[in-house]
Structure 1
Amino acid sequence: RVQTNWPLQINLPIGSHTPLWCTASGKLYLASLPPEQLERVLLRLPIQQMARNTLTDLSALRDDLARVREEDMGTDSEEFIDGMVACAVPVRDAQGRLLACLFSHAPVIRCSMEQLLGFVPRLRAAAKELESIVGG
């Protein structure tokens, strides 16, 4: 974990519990599930509005998860916390299963979603390095 030294920070301590349906890593995890399992999980999630852009309509969330699956990258554009953007890329094991998510988040006052997405190639490269370390 790398924390910025800027005075304005979003503090999500290691071990924080965050909702699957509105976080970049959570959506990446959901998109990795087989369709039948995903549907079972979606129907049991306590989906609620967390921030101004939270997707609470299951159809819209399913569409977003299809995009996440296609792009192999999760995003959160003020869906979990108003004023925060995030993106996440997968770290996979040797069988291609999701092992972990490598993510970055920032306050929108300092970094737009477009700017944050500019770091995705570096995140993907770091994820590949992590995969080689764990035998992915």
Structure 2
Amino acid sequence: MTELRSNRAEIAKIDGDTPTMRLLALLEVIAAKDQLVTLQGLVEETGLPKPTLHRMLQQLEAAGMLQRDSDGRQYGTGARLRRLAENLLLNDTIHGARHAVLRQLVEEVGESCNITALSGSEVLYLDRVETAAPLRFYLHPGSRVPAHCSASGKLFLAQMTPAQRRRLLANAPLMQYTTRTLTNLNALEAEIEQVRELGYAFDNEEFLPGLFCIAVLVPAPEGRSNMGIAMQAPIMRMTERNALDSLPALRRAASALAAIEADSAGSSQAECA
């Protein structure tokens, strides 16, 4: 009986007053997963009839919100849905509060800092504050860097299972940007294992010659985070040793960002109630 009630709760996720609302509910179910989904898997999870789900998936695929894997049997988020998510991250209403945390961090550490998120196989800069120092690397919000050669990217990859990483990187070859870029999958896996143990990551001239970066994740209540905070500087001002001196400040900023996200989520739930 308990199992039956649980199944009904799952089915309720796809309920809605209109076909559009039911499509949105299905998108929410799929977007919450960290792996591709199949028609049969969704049938078992939601309890909806296979013809109904097949029609809904076709509609979402035609709209660019979903896309099928190369085998044609698995579905994942489409380009249009990812662009929507990126635009929400870049332009949401708590941008000002996050920017204030970032500006305070830059004042404390004296180097350029940015807030990041994973978008496909790339790291997206959600916000950035530049140092006042005359020598700096200018990168604006909206910039993208490959995950495999960025400090934030390594942290995002470290949260995945090896199978998830392989699937992600299979469509994004490990391009070499500098002599230090890790282009061997085994070497990258070893680096990611170390990152997982340490809780922070470096980019030591792996994307741009002369640029050093250290990053940490913003804690998330569900465990897996899609927000990082990073500090960057020319190698003449930053080494691995003095980058670690700034690690406590980075972690304090990450905790402040997590509190902002939690407050925003709590306010949204209160408004809905």
Provide the TM-score with structure 1 as the length reference.
0.93
Contact kept, 8 Å, 2:211 with 2:235, in 1: the verdict is yes
Q: Output the amino acid matched with 1:44.
A: N
Find the aligned partners of 2:199 and 2:238 in 1 and give their Cα distance.
Answer: 22
Q: Which runs of 4+ in 1 moved over 6 A?
A: none
> Please, which runs of 5 or more residues in structure 1 have no aligned partner?
none
Identity of aligned residues (%): 39
Find the aligned partners of 1:31 and 1:43 in 2 and give their Cα distance.
Answer: 16
Contact kept, 8 Å, 1:20 with 1:30, in 2: the verdict is yes
Match runs of 1:1-136 below 5 Å = 1-135=128-262
> Please, which runs of 5 or more residues in structure 2 have no aligned partner?
1-127, 264-273
Larger radius of gyration: 2
- Matched with 2:68 is none
SS state of the match for residue 135, structure 1? helix
Q: Output the amino acid matched with 1:6.
A: A
Provide the TM-score with structure 2 as the length reference.
0.48
- Matched with 2:78 is none
Q: Output the amino acid matched with 2:182.
A: L
Contact kept, 8 Å, 2:156 with 2:226, in 1: the verdict is no
Q: Output the amino acid matched with 1:92.
A: P
Structure 1 position 82, deviation (Å):
0.8
Tell me which of the two structures has the higher relative contact order, counting C-alpha pairs closer than 8 angstroms and 6 or more residues apart.
1
Listed one character per residue, the Cα deviations across residues 65-96 of structure 1 (whole Å, up to 9, x for unaligned) are 11111112121011111111101100132111
Find the aligned partners of 2:172 and 2:244 in 1 and give their Cα distance.
Answer: 28
SS state of the match for residue 129, structure 2? coil
Q: How much is the aligned-residue C-alpha RMSD, in angstroms?
A: 1.4
Q: Output the amino acid matched with 2:261.
A: V
| Paired residue total | 136
